[in-house]
Chains A and B, each alone.
Chain A
Amino acid sequence: MANSNLPRRIIKETQRLLSEPAPGISASPSEDNMRYFNVMILGPTQSPYEGGVFKLELFLPEEYPMAAPKVRFLTKIYHPNIDKLGRICLDILKDKWSPALQIRTVLLSIQALLSAPNPDDPLSDNIAKHWKTNEAEAVETAKEWTRLYASGA
């Protein structure tokens, strides 16, 4: 079983995630794979995603913590840095990863990304263009999508 020789670090991180969860974030490991986490992030207040519950999956690769975790949105979301497959454009998940970062810090960064979309460094060109040309309208669409897909049903 893959879980048998799980590094102490992962065990400790998991324990802490469960015992002291970050506000608006929950992450629990899958029962049959301790490296796979089901994640939920609440849409931050005063963002177009407010009121939404967003599901994500997070996987810790073999090299973790030397390599970054793999994270992706499962809930459809209208955001310039997230594409239709749920992939996230975030520097700490790529070249800015450091082994001193943790699952908690990654998820907090993603939550912050929802509060502050960055259309200048887009993953989805169309949404980014929309954001830059007519932000009010784009925000409306994001709210609409949140209502449609992330209403927590």
Chain B
Amino acid sequence: MDSEDDMHDANDLESLDDDFYSGETAMGSDDGDAGYDFVDNESDDSEDITSHRQQQNYTILSEVDIRQHQEEDINRVSIVLSISRSAACILLRHYNWSVSKVHDEWFADEENVRKAVGLLENPVEMQNARELSCGICFENYPHNNMSTAACGHHFCGSCWRGYIGTSISDGPGCLMLRCPDPSCSAAVGQDMINILATDEDKEKYSRYLLRSYIEDNRKTKWCPAPGCDFAVEFVMGSGNYDVCCNCSYNFCWNCTEEAHRPVDCGTVAKWILKNSAESENMNWILANSKPCPKCKRPIEKNQGCMHITCTPPCKYEFCWLCLGAWSEHGERTGGFYACNRYESAKQEGAYDESERRREMAKNSLERYTHYYERWATNQSSRQKALADLHSMQTEKLEKLSDRQSQPESQLKFIIEAWLQIVECRRVLKWTYAYGYYLPEHEHAKRQFFEYLQGEAESGLERLHQCAEKELQVYLDAETPMKDFNDFRTKLAGLTSVTRNYFENLVRALETGLKDVGSSNSQATCSKTSSSKCLGGKSKIGKIKAGGTTSRSGGPSRSLDESNLWSCDQCTYVNPRSTNTCQMCEHRRCTT
């Protein structure tokens, strides 16, 4: 950690673009216990990635779980403070369902707490009169037909029902209901609701109570997927915000957008806003259209000559170049296809301002389109991969097991490959949002980023290709094929290699590419420090600084560390001591 902090301080480029890396990344948190450690699961290759990622920094709660937790909390407070469950419930809701906060506040100043939430200490004695007047409808009722909170303000059953019903239909504020008497603050809790309200209102109240337990609690949130009823309880301060709900939706606990690690929440919010913002439409219109000189509606010139006729009812005819009336055009102006009024006016600088704006808008639009297309393509690739994964799990695996005479338990590597593809497509997608916001002038960072992204992307393409196309051969085969084991080795190898690449990419982005540009050393691809290739147990992670500028980002994969070599087939970096790739068992080419 020390060295990282030093780098951070030393790197003055970092401060220039704080804006771009603002937001809550897991920056500076301990690399080790983030749930993303694809690398150090050497021992449990068979375990699937999903379960691996669920390293207990969150729990998924079903409605039953939620009610149970809520009951438990209420019971605890009720027992410790010796108050009714209903009172405990009111207290907990007031303190956002934090049991410890309730205890702290209560034992610090019980009187004040009681006052704040409306729990009267000494319930008022019941009046002895046989008949009482309801303070709302002014009717007289026998004593036993009236109800009151602890304060002794009596109202009749029908007025209570109306009062409670009005409050419940106004929303979750009903959980803080007080006595109808305007001068009285006595709380009306669930016990009274259950006696006095209609069945429908009781049910609504109970739902509000359940929702409150999730929504008012700092540690819990609903899964944002449409129609999903699960909630997530998150352990604060555990770094990684990625959450995978039981409904299989992946989202960021912090901003509740879909999972976007390694890109920070701020960048994601900006990107999503940009994608939806009208501004891009405006940019397009600006770049590709000119307003009709007469009616000012924007016109896109998608073909044809410079003679434009605006659509009815305007029908104005004008020259696209100089925007002058077409009636003034002809031989005089240099012919119909070359308006020299435009050329000369351009030379005089008359058109410069609007032209330049158009030009700029076009450039920025093209840049945005570049990133957006790649972002969107990976998004749809991921959807496709998810569908493929599903069909693999539900039908194809069985078929393959049948065709190749392999027990399904031996085919887990295929599922693992697909899970890896799905995850990588997600990461890759978000790196395009990251790339869009990476400042142009940070050349070293851009170069390094694009290098890592390129490596990761080509690794993923190889993996995707292998899992999609090459697997098909074995699915189509009528009889078991001898080289199935080779395929297994290759696919498993590619899965692992791709995992490494993405691990590097994720780590580099999460540290804001800060290993680049400090002093005179350039970072090299961190695969050289992978724990596997060095044969050590140390985790991957710190990107080694070293090497020279010319090497980073270059296409050459020759690595001059004398004790390493890179496999021709899968590009895995192996120690020199072996002649066979540890990943794919391809023999080293020694020329």
B139 proximal to A (CB < 8 A): yes
Residue from A13, A66, A100, A105 whose CB has the most chain B CB atoms within 10 Å? A100
B137 touches A98 (CB 8 A): no
In angstroms, Cα B166 to Cα A66, docked, is 7
* B162 contact from A13, A66, A98, Cβ within 8 A: A66
* A98 contact from B138, B139, B165, B182, Cβ within 8 A: B182
User: From residue A108, how far is it (CB to closest CB) to chain B in Å?
Assistant: 12
Q: In the complex where A63-B166, A66-B162 touch, is A8 in contact with B182 (Cβ < 8 A)?
A: no
B136 proximal to A (CB < 8 A): yes
In angstroms, Cα B153 to Cα A107, docked, is 23
User: From residue A110, how far is it (CB to closest CB) to chain B in Å?
Assistant: 15
A101 proximal to B (CB < 8 A): yes
In angstroms, Cα B182 to Cα A9, docked, is 18
B439 proximal to A (CB < 8 A): no
Residue from B138, B139, B153 whose CB has the most chain A CB atoms within 10 Å? B138
B163 touches A99 (CB 8 A): yes
Smallest CB-CB separation from B178: which chain A residue?
A98
User: Within residues 14 to 46 of chain B, which ones have a CB less than 8 A from any CB in chain A?
Assistant: none
In angstroms, Cα B281 to Cα A31, docked, is 61
| Residues of chain B lying within 8 A (CB to CB) of residue A67 | 166
User: From residue B262, how far is it (CB to closest CB) to chain A in Å?
Assistant: 45
A99 touches B136 (CB 8 A): yes
* B136 contact from A63, A92, A100, Cβ within 8 A: A100
A100 touches B180 (CB 8 A): yes
Q: In the complex where A66-B166, A67-B166 touch, is A12 in contact with B181 (Cβ < 8 A)?
A: no
A23 proximal to B (CB < 8 A): no
The binding surface of chain A is classed by DSSP as loop
B135 proximal to A (CB < 8 A): yes
B159 proximal to A (CB < 8 A): yes
In angstroms, Cα B137 to Cα A101, docked, is 11
In angstroms, Cα B183 to Cα A92, docked, is 12
A100 touches B182 (CB 8 A): yes
In angstroms, Cα B279 to Cα A113, docked, is 48
| Residues of chain A lying within 8 A (CB to CB) of residue B155 | 100
Number of chain B interface residues as a range: 10 to 19
User: From residue A77, how far is it (CB to closest CB) to chain B in Å?
Assistant: 25
B166 touches A98 (CB 8 A): no
User: Within residues 143 to 180 of chain B, which ones have a CB less than 8 A from any CB in chain A?
Assistant: 153, 155, 159, 162-163, 165-166, 180
| Residues of chain A lying within 8 A (CB to CB) of residue B136 | 9, 65, 99-100
A99 touches B138 (CB 8 A): no
| Residues of chain B lying within 8 A (CB to CB) of residue A7 | 137
Smallest CB-CB separation from A16: which chain B residue?
B138
| Residues of chain A lying within 8 A (CB to CB) of residue B163 | 66, 99
Mask of A64-94 contacts with B, CB within 8 angstroms, 1/0: 0111000000000000000000000000100
* A9 contact from B137, B165, B166, B180, Cβ within 8 A: B137
Number of chain A interface residues as a range: 10 to 19
| Residues of chain A lying within 8 A (CB to CB) of residue B165 | 66
| Residues of chain A lying within 8 A (CB to CB) of residue B159 | 99
| Residues of chain B lying within 8 A (CB to CB) of residue A63 | 166
User: From residue A3, how far is it (CB to closest CB) to chain B in Å?
Assistant: 18
| Residues of chain B lying within 8 A (CB to CB) of residue A65 | 136-137
User: From residue A148, how far is it (CB to closest CB) to chain B in Å?
Assistant: 36
B166 touches A96 (CB 8 A): no
A8 touches B162 (CB 8 A): no
| Residues of chain A lying within 8 A (CB to CB) of residue B182 | 92, 96, 98, 100-101, 105
User: Within residues 468 to 525 of chain B, which ones have a CB less than 8 A from any CB in chain A?
Assistant: none
User: Within residues 168 to 223 of chain B, which ones have a CB less than 8 A from any CB in chain A?
Assistant: 180-182
B138 touches A12 (CB 8 A): yes
Q: In the complex where A66-B163, A67-B166 touch, is A8 in contact with B180 (Cβ < 8 A)?
A: no
Smallest CB-CB separation from A65: which chain B residue?
B136
| Residues of chain A lying within 8 A (CB to CB) of residue B180 | 98-100
In angstroms, Cα B163 to Cα A105, docked, is 19
In angstroms, Cα B163 to Cα A101, docked, is 12
* B153 contact from A12, A13, A92, A100, Cβ within 8 A: A100
Q: In the complex where A66-B166, A96-B182, A100-B153 touch, is A8 in contact with B137 (Cβ < 8 A)?
A: yes
Smallest CB-CB separation from B155: which chain A residue?
A100
B166 touches A8 (CB 8 A): no
In angstroms, Cα B180 to Cα A105, docked, is 14
In angstroms, Cα B180 to Cα A67, docked, is 12
User: From residue B213, how far is it (CB to closest CB) to chain A in Å?
Assistant: 24
In angstroms, Cα B170 to Cα A67, docked, is 11
In angstroms, Cα B153 to Cα A92, docked, is 19
Smallest CB-CB separation from A12: which chain B residue?
B138
Residue from B153, B165, B182 whose CB has the most chain A CB atoms within 10 Å? B182
| Residues of chain A lying within 8 A (CB to CB) of residue B153 | 100
A8 touches B138 (CB 8 A): yes
In angstroms, Cα B138 to Cα A101, docked, is 12
A9 touches B181 (CB 8 A): no
B162 touches A9 (CB 8 A): no
In angstroms, Cα B138 to Cα A13, docked, is 9
User: From residue B58, how far is it (CB to closest CB) to chain A in Å?
Assistant: 37
User: Within residues 102 to 150 of chain B, which ones have a CB less than 8 A from any CB in chain A?
Assistant: 135-139
User: Within residues 4 to 25 of chain A, which ones have a CB less than 8 A from any CB in chain B?
Assistant: 7-9, 12-13
| Residues of chain B lying within 8 A (CB to CB) of residue A100 | 135-136, 153, 155, 180-182
In angstroms, Cα B155 to Cα A101, docked, is 13
12 further A-B pairs in the complex, CB-CB below 8 A; given A99-B136, A99-B163, A100-B181: A8-B137, A8-B138, A9-B136, A9-B137, A9-B138, A65-B136, A66-B166, A67-B166, A92-B182, A99-B180, A100-B153, A101-B182
A–B complex contacts, Cβ < 8 Å, 18 sampled:
A8-B137, A8-B138, A8-B139, A9-B138, A63-B166, A65-B136, A65-B137, A66-B162, A66-B165, A67-B166, A98-B181, A99-B136, A99-B166, A100-B135, A100-B155, A100-B180, A100-B181, A105-B182
Ranked 9 nearest A-B pairs via Cβ? A66-B166, A100-B180, A99-B136, A98-B182, A12-B138, A100-B135, A9-B137, A100-B181, A66-B162
